[in-house]
A and B are shown apart, each in its own frame.
Chain A
């Protein structure tokens, strides 16, 4: 049933929140966003050893926790709140889902355990020319003995510049398959992109006859990989909902303590009503994100899960962006400075809205599904 949160869910949330408050405060975020790597390897290991967060949705037989989308979304919501800098979305969310849903038995056995143990950064490279639809992938995989050679460019690859393992979507014949490339492979040029949101790193990957092995379960993987993208979107929506709530809290706290004209500015309706509208957006975002997570966990009807993901990505993206924009406004001049945290969320909001399909695109797909 939707929204049937348990005590264990609440414990998980509290544990993750404490860990992030302790290890990923604003100073830590600012430190990491200024580096090329974009994350702390030490913290990445600790996260796996102490809390096994990378293995949240890795099945138990492959060394993970075997949890589902709801638990993953709780973790992502907290990470969004903390603006946590780590290759979590690429590795623990996208790559794990791609392997679990499309990977061969051999690939799952080999690749999932190191992820769960915090010993790997694995990413998925699929977007070409800014099209986030899995079915649009056109990169060719040419057979070369038992292996393949990949040629072409993948853009906006999450953590692509540092990943030790890259799962590439490419076509062998007409079939969409999943191909494994080593991060340090020959004939692979990796370029860190100068991103709008520096807390999340993106790279451009240029393949020029790069050696690859096919790691999917055989046959066309369009449906399986689309499912993996849908689940990644659902987790990302929870991250957005967490960021939205954090910005509301920042704005409210500031409005209580900032004095102008002899009163706290939060006593003015012009500010108070903005905060109230942000509260509605934060609550709706949480409903959208977790409705989708519960559907992904419980529904056997993929169309229903997809519709829930469209709702979540469309709504949570816009609500997060609005809330961060309002947060700058509520903070006035301070909100425009580098020193204040507001711009970090503002940039995160816009880029997480754009990646994996923007709100208009998701509404277009939902409208088609609903026959609007």
Chain B
């Protein structure tokens, strides 16, 4: 995409014009973000007419700062429609028809249509490309059968990004296609997935003879993996990187817990816990410094491996921080106040720092699984950063249907 040059001053002028027409403190979310879209200030790196101005993506920061400066209300993309804005909009822009771009992207940005991603399956976790849901051509439609899992926001989504197998007779990477699935279509059954915390942040999505019109295929038939990779890459950069300020994030909570609970411990356990907390503090700071260093290196055009270690390091660190949290809490960690009755996170009671630590002790187990397990991250670091050879691939050159599964 060719980039347009524009000064910060001109851009701020455009934000002022937007605010004059619609102010977030005075109109609702859909109205304000709709106007923001019309002014090309939604995602400034998108083309003109599609919510952007064709600028460098960094210029979005100027727009957001200017809105924050002039309004009490600020809508964070991550709260509005994280998957739609982070993955849906870019994939429609790259692979969608002109019609899709015009009708879908604006509603993603305003939050009128929530999006979800239907990739993982019960039998395809780390090996997503081995997935086995089937899409079979029938006239102008595809008929899909199978099960998806770990689908964030599926229960409120209008659209799903679905990858399904269209040709089982070729090796796994070559036989998938990418579809836009209307989540309200007949045969789509969304059920909450009861997890370790008692909550259901995610869903299982059952697909029974779901019909998708052929024109909702993104990319060519068999190109599903290539299209999916673009959206997965966006997911990984969104995870990892450390909390922004000194002593913030999980380590801050842990240190506060220690202040309140240290007197409960014997001298022996105090000495051990104190050293353990200090070790965790050091690693938390180093996670933060390393992401600072990665940003500095990226700015100077000299990015190195410092940028790729964050996801692994953060996942492993946060688990340890919350484990230590329960040690610090001591005997009271025998109690789990929130209980395990199935509920959606939005329906859960607000946490106190104490219940938050207990909740995170459970929730953080997923840190080293979601968005790429720590084992997969170590493979990536070993192979892509250090240049070590891959494992022999037994499923690479044989038809998907002949690969052992279980």
User: Is B167 interfacial (CB-CB < 8 Å)?
Assistant: no
Query: How far apart are the CA atoms of A271 and B385 in the complex, in Å?
Result: 15
User: Is B26 interfacial (CB-CB < 8 Å)?
Assistant: no
The answer to whether B258 and A372 touch across the interface, beta carbons within 8 angstroms, is yes
The answer to whether A272 and B379 touch across the interface, beta carbons within 8 angstroms, is yes
User: Is A5 interfacial (CB-CB < 8 Å)?
Assistant: yes
With contact pairs A3-B297, A372-B274 given, residues A275 and B289 touching in the complex (Cβ less than 8 Å): no
User: Is A315 interfacial (CB-CB < 8 Å)?
Assistant: yes
Min CB distance B240 to A, Å, is 12
Question: B383 contacts which chain A residues (CB < 8 A)?
Answer: 272
The answer to whether A272 and B286 touch across the interface, beta carbons within 8 angstroms, is no
Please give me the residue from chain B that is nearest to A251 by CB atom: B386
What is the size, in residues, of chain B's interface with A at 8 Å between Cβ atoms? 42
With contact pairs A2-B292, A273-B375, A288-B289 given, residues A360 and B309 touching in the complex (Cβ less than 8 Å): no
CB within 8 Å of A: which B349-380 residues = 375, 377-379
- With most chain A CB atoms within 10 A of its CB, the pick from B282, B312, B378, B385 is B282
Stretch at the interface among B64-72, B118-126, B189-197, B387-395: B387-395
Min CB distance A52 to B, Å, is 26
The answer to whether B385 and A279 touch across the interface, beta carbons within 8 angstroms, is yes
- With most chain A CB atoms within 10 A of its CB, the pick from B292, B375, B381 is B381
Question: A286 contacts which chain B residues (CB < 8 A)?
Answer: 293, 306
Q: From DSSP, what is the main secondary structure of chain B's interface residues? A: helix
With contact pairs A288-B286, A367-B275, A370-B278 given, residues A275 and B388 touching in the complex (Cβ less than 8 Å): yes
The answer to whether B286 and A5 touch across the interface, beta carbons within 8 angstroms, is no
With contact pairs A267-B391, A272-B383, A279-B305 given, residues A284 and B290 touching in the complex (Cβ less than 8 Å): yes
Min CB distance A353 to B, Å, is 15
Q: Interface extent on A, as a size class?
A: 35 or more
Min CB distance B400 to A, Å, is 24
CB within 8 Å of A: which B292-306 residues = 292-293, 296-297, 300, 302, 305-306
The answer to whether A276 and B286 touch across the interface, beta carbons within 8 angstroms, is no
CB within 8 Å of B: which A118-167 residues = none
With contact pairs A266-B389, A284-B313 given, residues A273 and B286 touching in the complex (Cβ less than 8 Å): no
User: Is B201 interfacial (CB-CB < 8 Å)?
Assistant: no
The answer to whether B386 and A275 touch across the interface, beta carbons within 8 angstroms, is yes
Query: How far apart are the CA atoms of A271 and B383 in the complex, in Å?
Result: 12
Question: B385 contacts which chain A residues (CB < 8 A)?
Answer: 279
Question: B258 contacts which chain A residues (CB < 8 A)?
Answer: 372
- With most chain A CB atoms within 10 A of its CB, the pick from B258, B278, B378, B389 is B278
Question: B388 contacts which chain A residues (CB < 8 A)?
Answer: 252, 255-256, 264, 266-267, 271-272, 275
Query: How far apart are the CA atoms of A123 and B165 in the complex, in Å?
Result: 71
CB within 8 Å of B: which A1-41 residues = 1-5, 10
The answer to whether A287 and B293 touch across the interface, beta carbons within 8 angstroms, is yes
User: Is A186 interfacial (CB-CB < 8 Å)?
Assistant: no
Question: B302 contacts which chain A residues (CB < 8 A)?
Answer: 5, 10
Q: Report B298-323 CB contacts with A as 1/0, cut-off 8 Å.
A: 00101001100100110000000000
With contact pairs A273-B375, A366-B278 given, residues A291 and B309 touching in the complex (Cβ less than 8 Å): no
With contact pairs A360-B275, A363-B275 given, residues A370 and B392 touching in the complex (Cβ less than 8 Å): no
Q: Report A262-285 CB contacts with B as 1/0, cut-off 8 Å.
A: 011011110111011101100110
The answer to whether A252 and B387 touch across the interface, beta carbons within 8 angstroms, is yes
Question: B290 contacts which chain A residues (CB < 8 A)?
Answer: 283-284, 287
The answer to whether A364 and B378 touch across the interface, beta carbons within 8 angstroms, is no
Residue in B283, B285, B289, B379 whose CB lies within 8 Å of A269: B379
Query: How far apart are the CA atoms of A288 and B306 in the complex, in Å?
Result: 12
Residue in A275, A279, A283, A367 whose CB lies within 8 Å of B274: A367
User: Is A311 interfacial (CB-CB < 8 Å)?
Assistant: yes
With contact pairs A272-B382, A273-B382, A367-B274 given, residues A3 and B296 touching in the complex (Cβ less than 8 Å): yes
User: Is B153 interfacial (CB-CB < 8 Å)?
Assistant: no
User: Is B154 interfacial (CB-CB < 8 Å)?
Assistant: no
User: Is A290 interfacial (CB-CB < 8 Å)?
Assistant: yes
The answer to whether A291 and B289 touch across the interface, beta carbons within 8 angstroms, is yes
With contact pairs A272-B379, A283-B305 given, residues A3 and B292 touching in the complex (Cβ less than 8 Å): yes
Residue in A5, A256, A277 whose CB lies within 8 Å of B300: A5
- With most chain B CB atoms within 10 A of its CB, the pick from A284, A288, A370 is A284
Q: Report B219-239 CB contacts with A as 1/0, cut-off 8 Å.
A: 000000000000000000000
User: Is A314 interfacial (CB-CB < 8 Å)?
Assistant: yes
Residue in B282, B286, B292 whose CB lies within 8 Å of A363: B282
Question: B379 contacts which chain A residues (CB < 8 A)?
Answer: 269, 272-273, 276
Min CB distance A311 to B, Å, is 5
Question: B292 contacts which chain A residues (CB < 8 A)?
Answer: 2-3, 287
Question: A10 contacts which chain B residues (CB < 8 A)?
Answer: 302
Query: How far apart are the CA atoms of A151 and B258 in the complex, in Å?
Result: 47
User: Is B277 interfacial (CB-CB < 8 Å)?
Assistant: yes
The answer to whether B390 and A267 touch across the interface, beta carbons within 8 angstroms, is yes
The answer to whether A372 and B381 touch across the interface, beta carbons within 8 angstroms, is no
Query: How far apart are the CA atoms of A264 and B298 in the complex, in Å?
Result: 33
Query: How far apart are the CA atoms of A4 and B377 in the complex, in Å?
Result: 28
User: Is B42 interfacial (CB-CB < 8 Å)?
Assistant: no
11 intermolecular pairs with C-beta atoms under 8 Å apart = A10-B302, A271-B388, A276-B379, A276-B382, A279-B305, A283-B290, A360-B275, A364-B278, A366-B281, A370-B281, A371-B259
Chain A to chain B: the 5 pairs with minimum beta-carbon distance, closest first: A272-B382, A266-B388, A276-B378, A276-B381, A287-B289
Q: Other than the known A280-B381, A284-B309, A372-B281, what 18 A-B pairs have Cβ atoms closer than 8 Å?
A: A248-B386, A263-B392, A267-B392, A269-B391, A272-B378, A273-B378, A275-B381, A275-B386, A276-B312, A284-B283, A284-B286, A284-B313, A311-B285, A360-B275, A363-B279, A363-B282, A372-B258, A372-B278
